[in-house]
Structure 1
Amino acid sequence: MSRLGKFRAVYLVALCCVGSFLFAYDTGIIGGILTFEGFQKDFRYGPAQKASVGSNSTSLLQAGAFFSCFFIWPFTARYGRRWSIILASVIFCAGAVVQTINTHSLAAFYVARVVSGVGVGMATVVIPMYSAEMAPKNIRGTLGSMFQFFFTMGVMTSYFVDYGVSKHVKASTMQWQIPVGLQLVPGAILGLGMLLCKESTRWLAKKGRREEALQSLIWVRGGEHTPEVEEEFAKIISSIEEEQHQKEGLTWKELNEPVNRYRIFLIIALQIDKSLSIMDNTFQPTSSRASSTSLFLVERIGRRGSLLGGAFLMGTYMLIIACLTATHPPKSIDQGLTSTATASMTMIYLEAMSYNISWGPAPWVYMGEIFPARIREAGIAIGTSTQWLFNFVFSQVTPHAVQNLGWRTFLMFCIFNWALVVFVWFFIKETKGKSLEEMDA
């Protein structure tokens, strides 16, 4: 591949990962701005409502993402990946603008969160499709983990922004508007950056626009019509023809066939378990370093090994936190940082690391591998919508659980994670290096 081709490949992957960064930053800023005195005054709520406002602000974003799953698939099938991502950027930015305006209305803020969630949901569905269809085959294997890495970087950035404005900007409307308004930066980068890209080669070929498809492939491979590009294009056409042949006569009844029903059960269970496995995306500076490790770990030890090890370790860390919190209840912040608090924080760091090398990327990789081409799009749609739905549920429940159950919340998550070890051991087959026929055996 030429130098220009390598540059365009890196540009494409980086731009796609902005979508993951975008969702992470948008989710991460909420916890910080809710503590700002200026935000509480502008939106007229007190300390008693903090948990409710926090859970609503986070979960409504995910509710919007959940509902977007129902229309983004037919939209992107008809209008293409590129314009779907651009539309997602526009919708997200519209919601971010309303969030940034001081409306003095929590209802308006909530509606804006839902709108932004629709944009985020669209982006998180289409971006993996676009990147998988356009990125060179030698870097496709790391894309899933790259999305997780940029996710943790987004949350880490949001925490540092919240911390910075809390220290250097006085309590005022501007204090919360700065971190909220900065959402527009990655949102705009995503939309404007896509204007410089070509439409997906595979989508164009599926629509019978083969000349445009070839030009798209030539562009992303560096602008040279080489024999290698011609060979790759021939393989794409052959793959599409085979896929279309496989999908002839496809009906929803096929999803109810025993083997496919079992695959769907596994994906739904994995996505629910993914939400159950970690309390929050806390302490992301460590998580981002762990995510960089996950670029290779999932491929090296396999999907099943990553899930088993991650669930066991996270359960162990949660048990230690539960014991520490039960025997040494947290004291007032005025009394300083105790050794018990330091130990608990260390466990949360380790839990976040474990999540980001296991349950963060592995379910997404697994979901893309267990479905045959005939029903893959439907299976991924079900898995993605399940993830958003249960993210919404647990975003509503977790703040209230911590507030009302105290240390028992950590014990609850310990039990969840150790139960996942049993589930993975008996139900999840390794997919690394295996064909679909071998997985069905």
Structure 2
Amino acid sequence: MLGIPLGRFRAYWLGSVVCMAGFLFGYDSGMWTDNFAGGVLTFSSFENDYRYDASTKTRTESLAVGLQQLGAFIACFLAWPVTDRLGRNKTLMLSSFVFCIGAVIQTINTHSLTAFYFARVVAGLGLGSATVVVPMYNSEMMPKELRGQVGSFFQWFFTFGIFASYWIDYGVARGIPDNSPSQWQIPIGLQLVPAGLLGLGMLTLPESTRWLTKKGRHEEAWLSLQWIRADTSDATAAEMDEIRAGVLDEARATEGFHIKELLERDNFRRVFTAFAVFTAQQATGATAFAYFGPQYFELLVGGDADLSLLLTGIFGAVKVVSCGVFVIWFSERLSRRQVLVGGAVVMGLCQITTAGIVAATPSPDTSSSGVSGSGIGTVALIYLFVVVYNFSWGPLPWPYVSEIFPTRIREPGVAAGVASQWLFNFIFSVATPYMIRNLGWGTFLLWGVFDLIIAVVSFVYLEETKGLSLEAITQDRSIGSRRGLRKRTDAA
């Protein structure tokens, strides 16, 4: 195991398998439009095969992206009853299978936009349900010392997916003739690789210990915990007892779950927190940069298209490296709450400063050679912004939201949070081109203001969860009981 203890190795393996959903999410997000290769939907081969022209291009691109996000949003509300009934493992297999059906239909040259749109919705159902199950499965299986790190794998794999999509699009755009359908079929068909790795990889993993306990399958739960910890010591037995006690306490509290329980005071606070955290993740402006990087950099350096595309490619590499540094070295050393608050402050200052520089300094025109000092400064600020994002609001919402719910409402609670992620992903991806066109430098100012608002709300409202077991986090029955959580954090 190269010096890695078996239990840690198995935790990393589990996180890597399930977070292929994050790679898939990133790959699909970066593949279609506005990366530095142009994107599949801008390939003339795709336009010719699906018979649309400049007059319908914007609508086609909007529907292609938006319908998958719609399918993913709907899947968030279908996933939690399915995963409650089938378990985390089987639900992720099913999600992979559904996504593969959509990907296969997209890859076939049907010449029908209707069939293509249908396939996008189907793929969205598979991808959306996976994004709900992955964080809860991760949180339920990880030891508290690794929960933040392995939970952050999702965002790291997401950045790898975007980066891979950029270069695959670049390769087929430059290496395959524009009249060949394989130019667009190859990048679309390659989605089947991470989707297949997710589905087949689940065969190597046990079911969630906490889900099995919730269903009364205690022997299987004990075997699952032994496998992931690679240990049968008294410490593991004590952890099993704690899990059973926590699950049984939740079951006794209110037998026969009903959806209206989510409106009870303590539960509603948790659901609202999950919804707000993922809304904030999208409102930082980072998702908009992922979709529309070239347009943003054009605002900063002028109309030099090649330079804007180069800066976008570097932007993708910065995301991968910065998120990797955070996951490997800092994810379990830093306070969740402090990082989220501080990250939002720094991102806000970067965006507002960028807005001020762009407003005060006219962008160079296409005839200008090189980049001005102000252009270099703003690009550096945006790179700093994405580094900070991948140290804070990029990776941390995934483990944080999965940590704050008791077993009884974890499925619907996480589903509500992830649904907000897909909802505002859709809203901001549709709105951003209009913001860039109509607001110009004001777009950076708006994101900066959002970031500072997020910082203030996070400082007032968010609680610390680092270093606590899931049972300890929910012990007070109120995510708003700051005193109780902080006492236990200090004790830990």
Asked if TM exceeds 0.5, the reply is yes
Contact 2:146 2:332 in 1 (8 A): no
Q: Measure, in 1, the Cα distance between the counterparts of 2:447 and 2:384.
A: 15
- Equivalent residue, structure 1, for 2:276: 269
CA distance 1:372–1:126, change in 2 (3 Å) = closer
- Equivalent residue, structure 2, for 1:166: 173
Q: Measure, in 2, the Cα distance between the counterparts of 1:344 and 1:430.
A: 33
- Equivalent residue, structure 1, for 2:325: 293
How much does 1:194 deviate? 1.2
- Equivalent residue, structure 1, for 2:199: 191
Q: Measure, in 1, the Cα distance between the counterparts of 2:10 and 2:465.
A: 31
Q: Is 48-57 or 136-145 further displaced after alignment? A: 48-57
Q: Measure, in 1, the Cα distance between the counterparts of 2:138 and 2:404.
A: 19
CA distance 1:372–1:311, change in 2 (3 Å) = same
- Equivalent residue, structure 1, for 2:344: 311
Q: TM-score, normalised by structure 2?
A: 0.80
Q: Measure, in 2, the Cα distance between the counterparts of 1:231 and 1:29.
A: 47
Q: Measure, in 2, the Cα distance between the counterparts of 1:306 and 1:9.
A: 24
- Partner deviation per Cα, 1:393-441 (whole Å, 9 max, x = no partner): 2222212332444333223222222332333344434444685548415
Amino acid at match of 2:171: G
Instruction: Structure 1: give runs of 5+ residues left out of the alignment.
Output: none
Instruction: Structure 2: give runs of 5+ residues left out of the alignment.
Output: 34-38, 294-314, 484-492
**Of 389, 397, 409, the match for 1:355:** 389
Q: Residues 421-436 of structure 1: matches in 2 within 5 Å?
A: 421-432=455-466
Amino acid at match of 2:219: E
- Equivalent residue, structure 1, for 2:423: 389
How much does 1:17 deviate? 1.5
CA distance 1:90–1:405, change in 2 (3 Å) = same
Q: Are 2:163 and 1:131 aligned?
A: no
- Equivalent residue, structure 2, for 1:418: 452
Contact 1:298 1:358 in 2 (8 A): no
**Of 286, 289, 293, the match for 1:280:** 289
Q: Is 370-379 or 263-272 further displaced after alignment? A: 370-379
- Equivalent residue, structure 1, for 2:219: 211
- Partner deviation per Cα, 1:124-166 (whole Å, 9 max, x = no partner): 1112222333344542231221211111111111112112222
Q: Measure, in 1, the Cα distance between the counterparts of 2:465 and 2:100.
A: 38
Amino acid at match of 2:289: D
- Partner deviation per Cα, 1:170-200 (whole Å, 9 max, x = no partner): 3232222111111000001111111232322
Q: Is 112-121 or 171-180 further displaced after alignment? A: 171-180
Q: Measure, in 2, the Cα distance between the counterparts of 1:16 and 1:406.
A: 39
| Residue-pair matches, total | 439
Q: Residues 12-411 of structure 1: matches in 2 within 5 Å?
A: 12-31=14-33, 32-47=39-54, 49-171=56-178, 172-222=180-230, 229-248=236-255, 251-278=258-285, 279-281=288-290, 282=293, 283-295=315-327, 297=330, 299-326=332-359, 327-329=361-363, 331-332=365-366, 338-339=371-372, 341-411=375-445
SS in 1 for 2:146: helix
Q: Measure, in 2, the Cα distance between the counterparts of 1:165 and 1:342.
A: 31
Q: Measure, in 1, the Cα distance between the counterparts of 2:188 and 2:219.
A: 43
Instruction: Please provide the CA RMSD for this pair.
Output: 3.0
Amino acid at match of 1:416: F
CA distance 1:46–1:419, change in 2 (3 Å) = farther
CA distance 1:12–1:47, change in 2 (3 Å) = same
Q: Measure, in 1, the Cα distance between the counterparts of 2:119 and 2:136.
A: 26
Q: Measure, in 1, the Cα distance between the counterparts of 2:254 and 2:157.
A: 34
How much does 1:286 deviate? 0.6
Q: Measure, in 2, the Cα distance between the counterparts of 1:139 and 1:429.
A: 19
SS in 2 for 1:34: helix
Q: Measure, in 2, the Cα distance between the counterparts of 1:205 and 1:188.
A: 29
CA distance 1:280–1:107, change in 2 (3 Å) = farther
CA distance 1:301–1:232, change in 2 (3 Å) = closer
Q: Measure, in 1, the Cα distance between the counterparts of 2:105 and 2:128.
A: 18
Contact 2:107 2:188 in 1 (8 A): yes
Amino acid at match of 2:60: V
CA distance 1:130–1:284, change in 2 (3 Å) = same
- Partner deviation per Cα, 1:77-105 (whole Å, 9 max, x = no partner): 11111111111000011111111122223
Among the aligned pairs, what percent are the same residue?
45
Q: TM-score, normalised by structure 1?
A: 0.88
- Partner deviation per Cα, 1:277-301 (whole Å, 9 max, x = no partner): 1123252211122212333545544
Contact 2:67 2:124 in 1 (8 A): yes
Q: Measure, in 2, the Cα distance between the counterparts of 1:10 and 1:431.
A: 20
SS in 1 for 2:289: coil
How much does 1:29 deviate? 0.6
Q: Measure, in 2, the Cα distance between the counterparts of 1:133 and 1:422.
A: 30
Amino acid at match of 2:195: G
- Partner deviation per Cα, 1:344-391 (whole Å, 9 max, x = no partner): 443332222121111112333432344455544433222122221121
SS in 2 for 1:124: helix
Contact 1:60 1:392 in 2 (8 A): no
Q: Is 80-89 or 279-288 further displaced after alignment? A: 279-288
Contact 2:22 2:155 in 1 (8 A): yes
Q: Measure, in 2, the Cα distance between the counterparts of 1:88 and 1:9.
A: 21
Amino acid at match of 1:287: K
- Equivalent residue, structure 1, for 2:312: none
Contact 2:319 2:387 in 1 (8 A): yes
CA distance 1:153–1:138, change in 2 (3 Å) = same
